[in-house]
């Protein structure tokens, strides 16, 4: 079978743009966004796309066109949102280490909310808002202490994680926020982790956050919104991923008649399966007791296998001429951790084009220049049209910030 993205074959795209190449499907982005809108329609949520999943300006622009808000974790991501035509008024700022300069930039831009993760951050934000003669809209990120049952590196809602304010300190933190003159309390949020395969932890987190919102209301602290953090997990292999309608129904039942707006911050589930990485086989190498398919994409292009032992399906773009064998699929980077797949059945020979599936999220956005490798190009496909949305980095661009000093 010849694999395609919408109406264009991967072979044609690779010939036109070279490899390694990220390819995104616009209709897949649209469908993923619509799935959230449809499932949660009764709650009329503000969906804030988590930019860190994939910050390409054209993707941000598309989500902005669809009505999305944005969840950012740095001033750089705010700059991306604004450059792509996203609305600051629909942007929320998460993250444990916001700098004073980032806070000032976001306040001046007029973002919707700061998701504050600690008491010192609250004090710093109050000081900066005071200096700018304004009041900063805040939500406190509460750590509900539920086990998201995902990979430890992407689990964030346990007591042992660096994220959020502990549940038992939450009321005192809100009381402090209420005292600070340059803050305006608008909401509450949590985010327990990514690639969630079970609904129960998400629902339990929602329950705990709502119970806290009730205790706050009893103390005279009225919130406008509850923000449940990132989205559900996606299929990389054969995962049984949560049903969005079941999630929405559970949240609706829990919120009940409380006058609270809902915010969601999905990243992976909006873009992950809308993107693939194309890579060409350089060599097939047979060592004494192992086979290696050496491809032109590496851990600097797609870090997930090295970082999280993540699984990505890998398929030949055209019907293969070779017979299948078992191999590690590896890149040219000089690290044993540089692999895209381990012990995989694959039919491939030198020159073949391979499609690495599920590479829309936490892929291009994590790319770097290790081994002085230029970052890959990115293409957005809509129907029979392909647009180059990031051209391949040049060697000159890679070296531009450096000088060989004497
Ligand atoms: C990463 C992140 C998200 C997005 O999570 P996904 O699992 O990609 O949906 C949302 N909110 C916060 C605070 C995050 O750090």
Report yes or no on 37 lying in a domain: no
Asked whether residue 137 falls in the same domain as residue 240, the answer is: yes
104 annotated ligand-binding residue: no
User: Six-digit token pair at 150?
Assistant: 């995902």
The answer to whether residues 260 and 279 belong to one domain is no
3-state helix, strand, coil in the chain (%, to 5): 35, 25, 40
pLDDT tops 80 at residue 159: no
233 is in an annotated binding site: no
Convert the pLDDT of each residue in 254-288 to its tens digit. Answer: 999 999 999 999 999 999 999 999 999 999 999 88
CA of residue 362 to ligand 1 center, whole Å = 11
* CB of 344 closer than 8 Å to CB of 327: yes
The confidence band for 147, taking pLDDT boundaries of 50, 70 and 90, is: confident
Instruction: Residue 241: name the closest of 179, 150, 153 by CA.
Output: 150
Query: Whole-number mean pLDDT of the chain?
Result: 96
Range of the domain at 288: 4-22+274-404
Task: Match 């209420």 to its residue by tokens.
Answer: 178
Examine residue 20 and say whether the peptide bond preceding it is cis (omega within 30 degrees of 0): yes
Token pair listed for 45? 């949520």
For residue range 33-62, what is the model confidence (pLDDT) as tens digits? Answer: 999 999 999 999 999 999 999 999 999 999
Q: How far is the CA of 267 from the centre of ligand 1 (A)?
A: 6
CA 335 to CA 166: how far, in whole Å? 38
Do 280 and 262 share a structural domain? Answer: no
Pocket mutation for ligand 1, best pick of 51, 71, 161 (most atoms within 8 Å of C-beta): 71
Catalytic site residue from 5, 190, 334, 405: 334
Domain assignment present for residue 39? The answer is no
Ligand 1 binding residues, C-beta < 6 A: 50, 52-53, 71, 94, 191, 194, 229-231, 265-269
My answer on whether 76 and 175 are in the same domain is: yes
**Do 280 and 392 fall into the same domain?**
yes
Instruction: Give 294's strand partners.
Output: 283, 330
Does residue 132 belong to any structural domain of this protein?
Answer: yes
pLDDT at 157: 67
Residue 352 has pLDDT above 80, yes or no: yes
**Does 190 participate in catalysis according to the annotation?**
no
Out of 240, 266, 292, pick the residue that ends a domain. Answer: 266
How far is ligand 1, taken at its centre, from the CA of residue 374, in Å?
A: 27
Q: Name the nearest CA neighbour of 24 among 333, 396, 376, 398.
A: 376
**Residue range 231-250: average pLDDT?**
96
Helix (H, G, I), strand (E, B) or coil at 131: helix
Tell me if 352 is assigned to some domain.
yes
In the reported structure, the alpha carbon of residue 293 is separated from the centroid of ligand 1 by a whole-number distance in angstroms of 33
The number of folded domains in the chain is: 2
Domain boundary among 212, 234, 266: 266
| Helix (H) or strand (E) segment spanning residue 307 | helix 304-308
Is position 231 annotated in a ligand binding site?
A: yes
Q: Is 105 annotated as a binding residue?
A: no
- Domain boundary (248, 266, 284) is at 266
CATH number at residue 164: 3.20.20.10
Is the whole model's pTM more than 0.95, yes or no?
yes
Asked whether residue 32 is domain-assigned, the answer is no
- For residues 280 and 256, membership in a common domain is answered with no
CA-closest residue to ligand 1 atom 2: 230
Task: Tell whether 278 and 305 lie within a shared domain.
Answer: yes
Query: Residues near 399 by Cβ (< 8 Å), separated by ≥ 6?
Result: none
Give a yes or no: residue 67 inside a domain.
Answer: yes
């Amino acid at each position: 079978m010849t694999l395609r993205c919408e109406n264009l074959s991967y072979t044609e795209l690779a010939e036109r743009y070279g490899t390694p190449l990220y390819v995104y499907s616009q209709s897949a982005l649209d469908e993923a966004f619509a799935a959230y809108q449809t499932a949660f329609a009764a709650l009329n949520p503000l969906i804030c796309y988590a930019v860190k999943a994939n910050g390409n300006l054209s993707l941000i622009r598309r989500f902005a066109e669809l009505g999305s808000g944005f969840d950012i974790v740095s001033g750089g991501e705010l700059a991306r949102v604004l450059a792509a035509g996203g609305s600051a008024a629909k942007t929320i700022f998460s993250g444990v280490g916001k700098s004073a300069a980032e806070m000032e930039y976001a306040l001046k831009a007029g973002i919707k909310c700061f998701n504050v993760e600690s008491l010192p951050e609250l004090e710093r934000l109050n000081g900066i808002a005071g200096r700018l003669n304004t009041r900063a809209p805040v939500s406190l990120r509460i750590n509900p202490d539920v086990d998201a049952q995902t990979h430890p590196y992407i689990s964030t809602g346990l007591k042992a994680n660096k994220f959020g304010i502990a549940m038992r300190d939450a009321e005192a933190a809100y009381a402090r926020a209420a005292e600070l003159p340059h803050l305006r309390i608008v909401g509450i949020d949590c985010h327990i982790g990514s690639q969630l395969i079970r609904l129960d932890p998400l629902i339990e987190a929602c329950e705990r956050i709502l119970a806290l919102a009730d205790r706050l209301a009893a103390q005279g602290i009225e919130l406008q919104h509850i923000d449940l953090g990132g989205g559900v997990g996606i299929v990389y292999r054969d995962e049984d991923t949560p049903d969005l309608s079941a999630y929405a129904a559970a949240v609706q039942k829990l919120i009940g008649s409380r006058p609270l707006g809902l915010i969601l911050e999905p990243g992976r589930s909006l873009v992950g399966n809308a993107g693939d990485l194309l890579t060409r086989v350089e060599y097939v190498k047979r060592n004494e007791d192992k086979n290696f398919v050496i491809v032109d994409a590496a851990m600097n292009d797609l870090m997930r296998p090295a970082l999280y032992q993540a699984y990505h399906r890998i398929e030949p773009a055209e019907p293969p001429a070779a017979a299948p064998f078992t191999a590690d699929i590896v890149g040219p980077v000089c690290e044993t951790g540089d692999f895209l797949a381990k012990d995989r059945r694959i039919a491939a020979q030198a020159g073949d084009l391979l499609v690495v599936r599920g590479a829309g999220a936490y892929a291009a956005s994590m790319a770097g220049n290790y081994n002085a490798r230029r970052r890959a190009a990115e293409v957005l496909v809509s129907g029979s049209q392909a647009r180059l949305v990031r051209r391949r980095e040049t060697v000159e661009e890679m070296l531009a910030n450096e000088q060989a000093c004497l």
